[in-house]
Amino acid sequence: MNQNRRRFIVVTGAAVAAATLPFSAHPQEKVKIGIIGSGNVGSAIGAVWVRAGHEVMFSSRHIEHDQALAADLGAGARAGTPREAAAFGDVVMVSVPYGALPDVGKDVADLIEGKVVIDTCNPFPTRDGEIADWAREKGAGLASAELLPGARIVRAFNAIGARSMGSAYREPGRVGMPIAGDDAEAVTVASRLIREIGYEPVLVGGLAMGKYLMPGTPLAGEHSAEEIRQIAAGLE
């Protein structure tokens, strides 16, 4: 599949999913969300946040993709550069290949300091190389905190496959979303945004537990909130 075709499918799929959401587009409090990395995960989650009534700026290395996505989603969606998205968001979601995370951290460090940052990034050695080996040894949550210094990181949207990402609105609360974070207020903010799009957030621990929020671990895949609690209780 060529790159343009892939972008078209991502944009169209995200827009269709958002257009069919059954819940009201009136959140308790509108939040500005900047998304750095608008691939499968970033576009799917961003789209349902738009439909939920939040303002979302999409960004990536391909501004034309982000502009098309924002145009399809309509009011509440916009496109910009990664720095513009980081400046725009009261909350920032970073959803890029792990190998790109050091450059993202350097590029937007001054703009995300003190902000709630949702980290969806997973380290895969076959794709990301040596940095993935380092992140897995250190633990993905702690590694992300080192690469995004000053950010109030909550690790989320890492354990569920991209294909089903953003579909929890069909049965709100059925699928749990394991999250990890050390900042209680940041966890509260992220939990609210996660719950508003149909997932039931489950705090499994601090960022040190973020190593379990990725494919290949016991928490991978779709589980109910109670199942996540039971699995997490058996992890170190």
The full DSSP string for 97-118 is: -GGGHHHHHHHHHHHHTTSEEE
* Average confidence score pLDDT of the chain: 89
**pLDDT tens digits, one per residue of 160-187:** 877 777 777 778 889 999 999 999 999 9
Whole-number pLDDT of residue 4: 41
**pLDDT tens digits, one per residue of 38-94:** 999 999 999 999 999 999 999 999 999 999 999 999 999 999 999 999 999 999 999
Enumerate the β-bridge partners of residue 178. 202
What's the fold here for domain 3-233? Rossmann fold (3.40.50)
In this predicted structure, the answer to whether residue 6 has a pLDDT above a threshold of 60 is no
Q: Give the pLDDT band (50/70/90) at residue 9.
A: very low
In this predicted structure, the answer to whether residue 195 has a pLDDT above a threshold of 90 is yes
Token pair belonging to 70:
């924002």
**pLDDT tens digits, one per residue of 143-161:** 999 999 999 999 999 988 7
For residues 235 and 100, what is the distance between their CA atoms, to the nearest angstrom? 29
* Phi and psi torsions of 65, nearest 5°: -65, -45
